[in-house]
Amino acid sequence: MNSNGNGKTGEDSIIQFPCYFPIKIIGNNTDSFLSEIKNTIDNFLTEGHEPKISTKTSKNESYLSITLTIYVENQLTLDNIYRVLTQHPDVKMVL
């Protein structure tokens, strides 16, 4: 049985790790928001697996939506990514 790093086996988890996982971050559209988010996730990147990044601004350009598709090896890493992203002062929502 394979462990996902969260104490559960692959059969117990809905998500099969390792995998590419999309994360949507919505936050204030500041000049530095995108680069700060990129810097925030740098510690979680697996060598050889660069994240795919797409962005979209809101209609009035107040908010920026960032979709990161990132390679994640286990549930613990995914949980830590969400935890760090939600602590950023300009982040309004992480999905």
Tens of pLDDT, residue by residue over 15-66, are 999 999 999 999 999 999 999 999 999 999 988 999 999 999 999 999 999 9
Sorting pLDDT into bands at 50, 70 and 90, what band is 12? low
Three-class DSSP category at 66 = strand
pLDDT above 50: residue 1 = no
pLDDT above 50: residue 7 = no
More confident: 58 or 7:
58
Three-class DSSP category at 75 = helix
Three-class DSSP category at 14 = coil
More confident: 66 or 9:
66
